[in-house]
Structure 1
Protein backbone atom coordinates (compact mmCIF):
# COMPACT_ATOMS: atom_id res chain seq x y z
CA UNK A 1 0.00 0.00 0.00
CA UNK A 2 1.43 3.38 -0.98
CA UNK A 3 0.40 5.05 2.26
CA UNK A 4 2.39 2.44 4.20
CA UNK A 5 5.56 3.40 2.34
CA UNK A 6 5.48 6.93 3.69
CA UNK A 7 3.97 6.29 7.13
CA UNK A 8 5.76 8.44 9.66
CA UNK A 9 7.65 10.32 6.93
CA UNK A 10 6.79 13.31 4.82
CA UNK A 11 5.74 12.30 1.33
CA UNK A 12 7.89 13.66 -1.47
CA UNK A 13 6.41 15.89 -4.15
CA UNK A 14 6.91 13.06 -6.66
CA UNK A 15 4.99 10.67 -4.41
CA UNK A 16 2.16 13.18 -3.94
CA UNK A 17 1.87 13.60 -7.69
CA UNK A 18 1.93 9.81 -8.16
CA UNK A 19 -0.95 9.42 -5.70
CA UNK A 20 -2.91 12.16 -7.49
CA UNK A 21 -2.20 10.61 -10.88
CA UNK A 22 -3.26 7.17 -9.63
CA UNK A 23 -6.55 8.59 -8.35
CA UNK A 24 -7.20 10.28 -11.69
CA UNK A 25 -6.47 7.08 -13.63
CA UNK A 26 -8.76 5.01 -11.39
CA UNK A 27 -11.47 7.66 -11.77
CA UNK A 28 -11.18 7.62 -15.57
CA UNK A 29 -11.18 3.81 -15.78
CA UNK A 30 -14.22 3.43 -13.53
CA UNK A 31 -16.15 6.17 -15.36
CA UNK A 32 -15.37 4.50 -18.68
CA UNK A 33 -16.93 1.23 -17.47
CA UNK A 34 -19.97 2.97 -15.99
CA UNK A 35 -20.54 5.09 -19.09
CA UNK A 36 -20.28 2.03 -21.35
CA UNK A 37 -22.99 0.25 -19.32
CA UNK A 38 -25.28 3.29 -19.32
CA UNK A 39 -24.82 3.80 -23.07
CA UNK A 40 -25.26 0.13 -24.00
CA UNK A 41 -28.26 -0.55 -21.76
CA UNK A 42 -30.05 2.81 -21.74
CA UNK A 43 -28.62 5.02 -24.50
CA UNK A 44 -27.41 7.54 -21.92
CA UNK A 45 -24.13 9.38 -21.55
CA UNK A 46 -22.78 9.82 -18.04
CA UNK A 47 -23.64 13.54 -18.16
CA UNK A 48 -27.21 12.75 -19.21
CA UNK A 49 -27.55 10.24 -16.39
CA UNK A 50 -26.08 12.75 -13.91
CA UNK A 51 -28.60 15.39 -14.96
CA UNK A 52 -31.58 13.00 -14.87
CA UNK A 53 -30.68 11.46 -11.50
CA UNK A 54 -30.49 14.97 -10.02
CA UNK A 55 -34.06 15.87 -11.02
CA UNK A 56 -36.26 14.90 -8.06
CA UNK A 57 -39.76 13.52 -8.60
CA UNK A 58 -41.23 16.95 -7.84
CA UNK A 59 -38.98 18.68 -10.38
CA UNK A 60 -36.21 21.19 -9.85
CA UNK A 61 -35.35 24.73 -10.81
CA UNK A 62 -32.83 24.95 -13.63
CA UNK A 63 -30.46 27.06 -11.51
CA UNK A 64 -30.53 24.50 -8.70
CA UNK A 65 -29.91 21.70 -11.21
CA UNK A 66 -26.89 23.65 -12.48
CA UNK A 67 -25.50 23.60 -8.92
CA UNK A 68 -25.98 19.83 -8.64
CA UNK A 69 -24.31 18.66 -11.85
CA UNK A 70 -20.76 19.02 -13.07
CA UNK A 71 -21.52 21.02 -16.20
CA UNK A 72 -21.55 24.68 -17.11
CA UNK A 73 -24.94 26.36 -17.36
CA UNK A 74 -24.73 26.51 -21.16
CA UNK A 75 -23.66 22.85 -21.48
CA UNK A 76 -26.48 21.80 -19.14
CA UNK A 77 -28.97 23.85 -21.16
CA UNK A 78 -27.97 22.03 -24.35
CA UNK A 79 -28.12 18.68 -22.55
CA UNK A 80 -31.62 19.42 -21.19
CA UNK A 81 -32.63 20.39 -24.74
CA UNK A 82 -31.57 16.92 -25.94
CA UNK A 83 -33.34 15.19 -23.04
CA UNK A 84 -36.49 17.17 -23.79
CA UNK A 85 -36.39 16.15 -27.48
CA UNK A 86 -36.11 12.51 -26.32
CA UNK A 87 -39.21 12.96 -24.15
CA UNK A 88 -37.38 12.41 -20.85
CA UNK A 89 -37.86 15.87 -19.32
CA UNK A 90 -40.07 18.91 -19.75
CA UNK A 91 -39.33 22.54 -18.98
CA UNK A 92 -42.05 24.47 -17.21
CA UNK A 93 -42.09 28.16 -16.36
CA UNK A 94 -41.50 28.61 -12.64
CA UNK A 95 -44.32 30.10 -10.62
CA UNK A 96 -43.72 33.68 -9.56
CA UNK A 97 -40.68 34.28 -11.80
CA UNK A 98 -41.22 34.63 -15.52
CA UNK A 99 -37.48 34.23 -16.19
CA UNK A 100 -37.02 31.03 -14.18
CA UNK A 101 -37.59 27.54 -15.54
CA UNK A 102 -38.24 24.27 -13.73
CA UNK A 103 -37.20 20.90 -15.11
CA UNK A 104 -39.47 17.89 -14.52
CA UNK A 105 -39.06 14.25 -15.46
CA UNK A 106 -41.69 12.78 -17.75
CA UNK A 107 -43.10 9.34 -16.94
CA UNK A 108 -40.69 7.89 -19.50
CA UNK A 109 -37.85 9.83 -17.84
CA UNK A 110 -38.79 8.50 -14.39
CA UNK A 111 -38.80 4.92 -15.67
CA UNK A 112 -35.44 5.38 -17.39
CA UNK A 113 -33.90 6.93 -14.25
CA UNK A 114 -35.05 3.98 -12.10
CA UNK A 115 -33.56 1.45 -14.52
CA UNK A 116 -30.38 3.42 -15.19
CA UNK A 117 -29.82 3.96 -11.45
CA UNK A 118 -29.76 0.18 -10.96
CA UNK A 119 -27.32 -0.18 -13.86
CA UNK A 120 -25.14 2.60 -12.43
CA UNK A 121 -25.08 1.04 -8.95
CA UNK A 122 -24.16 -2.38 -10.36
CA UNK A 123 -21.39 -0.84 -12.48
CA UNK A 124 -20.00 1.11 -9.50
CA UNK A 125 -19.91 -2.10 -7.47
CA UNK A 126 -18.29 -4.13 -10.24
CA UNK A 127 -15.78 -1.52 -11.42
CA UNK A 128 -14.87 -0.06 -8.03
CA UNK A 129 -16.39 -1.15 -4.74
CA UNK A 130 -16.11 -4.92 -5.19
CA UNK A 131 -12.36 -4.52 -5.74
CA UNK A 132 -11.89 -3.03 -2.26
CA UNK A 133 -12.39 -4.32 1.25
CA UNK A 134 -14.99 -2.76 3.54
CA UNK A 135 -12.14 -1.19 5.51
CA UNK A 136 -10.63 0.34 2.37
CA UNK A 137 -14.01 1.72 1.30
CA UNK A 138 -14.54 3.31 4.71
CA UNK A 139 -11.04 4.81 4.66
CA UNK A 140 -11.59 6.32 1.20
CA UNK A 141 -14.99 7.67 2.25
CA UNK A 142 -13.41 9.39 5.26
CA UNK A 143 -10.58 10.85 3.17
CA UNK A 144 -12.89 12.09 0.40
CA UNK A 145 -15.34 13.54 2.93
CA UNK A 146 -12.49 15.46 4.57
CA UNK A 147 -11.25 16.75 1.21
CA UNK A 148 -14.78 17.84 0.25
CA UNK A 149 -15.43 19.52 3.60
CA UNK A 150 -18.12 17.10 4.72
CA UNK A 151 -19.77 13.78 3.97
CA UNK A 152 -20.99 13.10 0.46
CA UNK A 153 -24.75 12.74 0.16
CA UNK A 154 -26.10 10.05 -2.15
Structure 2
Protein backbone atom coordinates (compact mmCIF):
# COMPACT_ATOMS: atom_id res chain seq x y z
CA UNK A 1 0.00 0.00 0.00
CA UNK A 2 1.44 3.41 -0.89
CA UNK A 3 2.50 5.67 1.92
CA UNK A 4 -0.26 8.21 1.51
CA UNK A 5 -3.41 9.08 3.36
CA UNK A 6 -5.07 10.06 0.10
CA UNK A 7 -8.27 8.59 -1.27
CA UNK A 8 -7.73 5.69 -3.71
CA UNK A 9 -9.17 7.73 -6.57
CA UNK A 10 -6.83 10.70 -5.99
CA UNK A 11 -3.80 11.53 -8.10
CA UNK A 12 -1.58 11.36 -4.98
CA UNK A 13 -2.73 7.79 -4.27
CA UNK A 14 -2.15 6.73 -7.88
CA UNK A 15 1.35 8.24 -7.90
CA UNK A 16 2.00 6.59 -4.54
CA UNK A 17 1.09 3.18 -5.94
CA UNK A 18 3.42 3.77 -8.88
CA UNK A 19 6.19 4.87 -6.50
CA UNK A 20 5.72 1.71 -4.42
CA UNK A 21 6.00 -0.42 -7.55
CA UNK A 22 9.23 1.37 -8.52
CA UNK A 23 10.66 0.85 -5.02
CA UNK A 24 9.92 -2.88 -5.10
CA UNK A 25 11.44 -3.11 -8.59
CA UNK A 26 14.56 -1.26 -7.45
CA UNK A 27 15.00 -3.50 -4.39
CA UNK A 28 14.65 -6.72 -6.37
CA UNK A 29 16.86 -5.45 -9.21
CA UNK A 30 19.66 -4.47 -6.79
CA UNK A 31 19.60 -7.95 -5.31
CA UNK A 32 19.63 -9.55 -8.78
CA UNK A 33 22.57 -7.36 -9.79
CA UNK A 34 24.47 -8.33 -6.64
CA UNK A 35 23.86 -12.06 -7.05
CA UNK A 36 24.67 -12.08 -10.78
CA UNK A 37 27.95 -10.28 -10.13
CA UNK A 38 28.88 -12.51 -7.18
CA UNK A 39 27.94 -15.85 -8.69
CA UNK A 40 28.51 -15.35 -12.41
CA UNK A 41 30.59 -12.18 -12.89
CA UNK A 42 27.75 -10.74 -15.00
CA UNK A 43 26.26 -7.28 -15.05
CA UNK A 44 22.51 -6.98 -15.39
CA UNK A 45 23.01 -5.77 -18.99
CA UNK A 46 25.18 -8.79 -19.81
CA UNK A 47 22.57 -11.10 -18.31
CA UNK A 48 19.78 -9.34 -20.22
CA UNK A 49 21.77 -9.77 -23.42
CA UNK A 50 22.50 -13.47 -22.86
CA UNK A 51 18.88 -14.37 -22.08
CA UNK A 52 17.72 -12.54 -25.19
CA UNK A 53 19.84 -14.57 -27.59
CA UNK A 54 17.65 -17.42 -28.88
CA UNK A 55 19.25 -20.86 -29.14
CA UNK A 56 19.20 -20.56 -32.93
CA UNK A 57 21.09 -17.25 -32.69
CA UNK A 58 20.05 -13.79 -33.73
CA UNK A 59 21.18 -10.86 -35.80
CA UNK A 60 22.86 -8.12 -33.83
CA UNK A 61 20.24 -5.66 -35.08
CA UNK A 62 17.42 -7.87 -33.73
CA UNK A 63 19.21 -8.29 -30.40
CA UNK A 64 19.25 -4.52 -30.01
CA UNK A 65 15.45 -4.54 -30.20
CA UNK A 66 15.27 -7.12 -27.40
CA UNK A 67 17.46 -5.36 -24.83
CA UNK A 68 17.20 -1.90 -23.37
CA UNK A 69 20.46 -0.52 -24.76
CA UNK A 70 21.53 1.53 -27.76
CA UNK A 71 22.86 -0.21 -30.87
CA UNK A 72 26.44 0.86 -30.08
CA UNK A 73 26.13 -0.30 -26.45
CA UNK A 74 24.81 -3.70 -27.56
CA UNK A 75 27.68 -3.98 -30.03
CA UNK A 76 30.28 -3.17 -27.34
CA UNK A 77 28.62 -5.54 -24.90
CA UNK A 78 28.67 -8.32 -27.50
CA UNK A 79 32.39 -7.67 -28.05
CA UNK A 80 32.92 -8.05 -24.29
CA UNK A 81 30.86 -11.25 -24.13
CA UNK A 82 32.74 -12.64 -27.14
CA UNK A 83 36.06 -11.84 -25.43
CA UNK A 84 34.87 -13.89 -22.44
CA UNK A 85 33.98 -16.78 -24.77
CA UNK A 86 30.24 -16.60 -24.04
CA UNK A 87 29.07 -15.74 -27.56
CA UNK A 88 30.34 -15.82 -31.10
CA UNK A 89 29.90 -12.94 -33.47
CA UNK A 90 29.99 -13.82 -37.18
CA UNK A 91 29.77 -11.41 -40.10
CA UNK A 92 26.82 -11.70 -42.47
CA UNK A 93 27.56 -12.07 -46.16
CA UNK A 94 24.47 -10.11 -47.21
CA UNK A 95 25.06 -7.27 -44.71
CA UNK A 96 28.63 -6.03 -44.32
CA UNK A 97 27.80 -4.08 -41.16
CA UNK A 98 25.65 -6.83 -39.65
CA UNK A 99 26.59 -9.78 -37.49
CA UNK A 100 25.05 -13.03 -36.33
CA UNK A 101 25.24 -13.70 -32.60
CA UNK A 102 25.25 -17.22 -31.10
CA UNK A 103 25.75 -18.48 -27.57
CA UNK A 104 28.78 -20.72 -27.13
CA UNK A 105 28.60 -23.83 -24.97
CA UNK A 106 30.12 -21.78 -22.14
CA UNK A 107 27.58 -19.02 -22.84
CA UNK A 108 24.69 -21.49 -22.65
CA UNK A 109 26.01 -22.77 -19.32
CA UNK A 110 26.37 -19.25 -17.88
CA UNK A 111 22.95 -18.34 -19.29
CA UNK A 112 21.32 -21.37 -17.67
CA UNK A 113 23.00 -20.85 -14.28
CA UNK A 114 22.42 -17.09 -14.24
CA UNK A 115 18.76 -17.59 -15.19
CA UNK A 116 18.42 -19.92 -12.20
CA UNK A 117 20.04 -17.32 -9.96
CA UNK A 118 17.68 -14.67 -11.32
CA UNK A 119 14.67 -16.91 -10.64
CA UNK A 120 15.89 -17.69 -7.10
CA UNK A 121 16.28 -14.00 -6.29
CA UNK A 122 12.89 -13.10 -7.78
CA UNK A 123 11.24 -15.83 -5.74
CA UNK A 124 13.04 -14.91 -2.50
CA UNK A 125 12.72 -11.12 -2.70
CA UNK A 126 9.37 -10.82 -4.46
CA UNK A 127 7.14 -13.76 -5.36
CA UNK A 128 7.44 -15.74 -2.12
CA UNK A 129 6.30 -12.67 -0.18
CA UNK A 130 2.89 -12.82 -1.91
CA UNK A 131 0.13 -15.39 -1.64
CA UNK A 132 -0.70 -17.40 -4.75
CA UNK A 133 -3.90 -15.38 -5.12
CA UNK A 134 -2.02 -12.08 -4.87
CA UNK A 135 0.56 -13.26 -7.37
CA UNK A 136 -2.13 -14.34 -9.84
CA UNK A 137 -3.95 -11.01 -9.43
CA UNK A 138 -0.75 -9.07 -9.98
CA UNK A 139 -0.01 -11.16 -13.05
CA UNK A 140 -3.43 -10.31 -14.51
CA UNK A 141 -2.98 -6.61 -13.73
CA UNK A 142 0.48 -6.43 -15.26
CA UNK A 143 -0.64 -8.42 -18.31
CA UNK A 144 -3.36 -5.83 -18.85
CA UNK A 145 -0.79 -3.02 -18.69
CA UNK A 146 1.97 -4.73 -20.63
CA UNK A 147 1.95 -4.06 -24.35
CA UNK A 148 5.28 -5.78 -24.95
CA UNK A 149 6.07 -9.48 -24.88
CA UNK A 150 9.22 -11.57 -24.76
CA UNK A 151 10.58 -12.32 -28.22
CA UNK A 152 9.87 -15.82 -29.45
CA UNK A 153 12.56 -18.29 -28.48
CA UNK A 154 13.81 -16.41 -25.41
CA UNK A 155 13.31 -18.25 -22.14
CA UNK A 156 14.17 -16.14 -19.13
CA UNK A 157 12.81 -18.63 -16.60
CA UNK A 158 15.09 -21.65 -17.11
Give the TM-score category using the shorter length: 0.7 to 0.9
After superposing on structure 2, the runs of 4+ consecutive aligned residues of structure 1 that deviate more than 2 Å are 94-99, 149-154
Q: What is the aligned-residue RMSD (CA, Å)?
A: 2.1
Aligned residues: 150
TM-score of the aligned structures, taking structure 2 as reference length = 0.86
Look up the SS of the partner of 1:120 in the other structure. Answer: helix
Could you tell me the TM-score, scaled by structure 1's length?
Answer: 0.88
- Per the alignment, do residues 15 and 104 of structure 1 end up closer, same or farther by CA in structure 2, a change over 3 Å counting? same
Looking at secondary structure, tell me which structure has more helix per residue.
Answer: 1
Matching residue of 1:56: 54
Q: Does 1:76 align with 2:74?
A: yes
Structure 2 unpaired stretches of 5+: none
Unaligned 5+ segments in structure 1 are none
Shift, 1:10, TM fit = 5.9
Matches within 5 A, 1:5-154: 11-149=9-147
1:67 and 1:141 map into 2 onto residues whose CA distance is 24
The SS at the match of 1:142 is helix
